[in-house]
Structure 1
Amino acid sequence: MERIKAVFNWSGGKDSAHALWRAVRSDRYEIAALLTTVNRDTLRSTMHGIPMPLLQAQAESIGIPLRVADLTPKGNMEDYAEAMSRAVEQFKAQGVTHFIFGDIFLHDVRKYREQQLAPHGIEVVEPLWGQSSEAVMRDYLATGLKTVVVTTMADGLGASAIGQVIDAGFVASLPAGTDPNGENGEYHTFCYDGPIFRSPVPFRLGKPFSESYDIRLDDGKTKTCTYWFADLKEA
């Protein structure tokens, strides 16, 4: 059976690596590229704060080319949509028909993706979708993928969680009400080893730092959110 030509939307974190692992194992897709969004000033990925050299090292170890869509600093959704639309049209010209994501249960996020991609004739694929977050975490732990916490909400897990490895002990230690996968934004990760990699990605953790962002809510109001980031560096 001929495989479907797809692009994988790569964050560099746990759920992204888990979804890629599932997509590769299915053998249904020919993955043309890992597409990621990067702040054009800091040259780090959005939310996860992974620097470009480490994103490139991940892609090289996985064996799939990295494609970067650069965003303005603290870019809004219009900026994101414009950058993605340019990338989609270029991939479509190469025969890509599907975009793969690592979402688990956020229906508004999936709806947004589908609304943005449908006009281009691109179908959304979600390998982790349809299971409970607990089941997805159990499956993740069984894959052998290795990830470390690199971003947290300041009013949630805070700076103390930065640098922790995602394992059964970490999951058991999460406060009540925290999604085990961090699907509500509680934490983000950097994946550095496991079955999708030819070899581990060397990295080191610098001193954590915090940054604040003004986020526009659905009612038009603005909320300031503060996050802690690991100062990820090449080893």
Structure 2
Amino acid sequence: MTPALLSWSGGKDAAWALHALRQAGEVEVVGLLTTLTEGYDRVSMQGIRREVLHAQARAAGLPVIEAWIPQAADNARYEASFADALARARTRWPGIMHIAFGDLFLADIRAWREGLCARLGWTPLFPLFGSDTTELARAMQAGGLRAHLCCVDTRQLDASFAGRAFDATLLQALPAAIDPCGEHGEFHTCVEAGPMFATPLALARGDTVLRDGRFAYTDFLLAADGPPADDPPQA
């Protein structure tokens, strides 16, 4: 099979993209690429702790390639870090040319990724693109995916949703204007279990804090009986 990386946020869409790619059997995901923010030691946007990220990677049976960006990084800094991570991946897996993304329907984001990958000599894959997000959310839940909302944009969704389980009850409670998968950035999730993991993660809910006067982040930590916090092999 054709080797590929997967852009991994630690959230449900990336996790379900991994499941979909494995089910299709046309490419082999050999590693995860994750952007983290310096000083926070957390996944950018999602705010997921680095140790939780690596526990997810172990459960998926894949190594992580880390792309670090400074706080308040501009797009040029992000692209430089992304390019460096891809270069390191190609050193580890010579000839690899594909990277998959969990984007669902935002055409402008897809076009931007396609342009960036083309400039860097990579081919992007979008295994979930064009999905009906209501049906996709229900399929994720029916398929055994378990996740919690770890970040809520309070300009779009009430902060009380932060920390809630991504389940049928949540879907019923979401206002009509909110996408069921949060594709407009209304919320982000932290995955703890699903068919893409060999074993579920044991996570404990921490505090919820408001950052930048807008984003409500709920912290999730490895529980005492969860996977060890040591890191998997690095690329």
TM-score (norm 1): 0.90
The answer to whether the 8 Å contact 2:65/2:89 transfers is no
SS of 2:116's equivalent in the other structure is helix
**Does the alignment pair 1:187 with 2:199?**
no
Query: 1:36, CA displacement in angstroms?
Result: 0.4
The amino acid of 1:194's aligned partner reads G
Corresponding position of 1:234 = 222
Match of 2:42 in 1: 44
- Contact residue 89 and residue 120 of structure 1 kept, 8 A: no
Structure 1 counterpart of 2:74, from 68, 73, 76: 76
Identity %: 33
The residue identity in structure 2 corresponding to 1:107 is A
Match of 1:102 in 2: 102
Q: How many residues align?
A: 221
1:136 aligns with 2:127: no
Report the 3-state secondary structure (helix = DSSP H, G, I; strand = E; otherwise coil) of the residue aligned with 2:207. Answer: coil
The answer as to whether partners of 1:148 and 1:164 remain within 8 angstroms in 2 is yes
Match of 2:56 in 1: 58
1:191 CA drift (Å): 0.3
Alpha-carbon contact 1:159-1:208 (below 8 Å) kept: no
Q: Which amino acid aligns with 2:8?
A: W
For 1:120, the equivalent position in structure 2 comes to 120
Q: C-alpha separation between the residues in 2 aligned to 1:169 and 1:230?
A: 19
Q: Distance in 1 between matches of 2:28 and 2:199?
A: 21
Distance 2:89 2:198 in 1: 26
Deviation at 1:131, TM superposition (A): 2.2
Residue 74 of structure 1 and its aligned partner are, at CA, apart by 1.9
Check conservation: 2:21, 2:28, Cα contact below 8 A: no
Deviations 1:85-126 (A, max 9, x none): 111223234221111000000111111111111122211111
Aligned residue type for 1:37: T
Moved more, 142-151 or 90-99: 90-99
Q: In structure 2, the residue corresponding to 1:206 is in which secondary structure?
A: strand
- Partner SS state of residue 34, structure 1: strand
* Residue 168 (structure 1) aligns with: 168
Give the alignment's Cα RMSD to 1 decimal: 1.3
How far, CA to CA, are the matches of 1:167 and 1:182 in structure 2? 13
- Contact map agreement 1:150 1:188 (CA 8 A) in 2: yes
Q: Does 1:67 align with 2:65?
A: yes
The reply to whether residue 27 of structure 1 matches residue 25 of structure 2 is yes
SS at match of 1:176: coil
Q: CA deviation at 1:139?
A: 2.1
Could you tell me the TM-score, scaled by structure 2's length? 0.90
Q: Which secondary structure does the structure 2 equivalent of 1:230 belong to?
A: strand
Contact preservation (8 Å) 2:16, 2:196: no
Deviation (angstroms), 1:80: 0.8
**1:142 is matched by which residue type in structure 2?**
A
CA distance, structure 2, for counterparts of residue 165 and residue 107 of structure 1: 28
C-alpha distance in 2 between matches for 1:39 and 1:152: 18
Partner Cα separation in structure 1 for residue 197 and residue 131 of structure 2 = 25
Looking at structure 1, the residues matched to 222 and 72 of structure 2 have their Cα atoms a distance apart, in angstroms, of 24
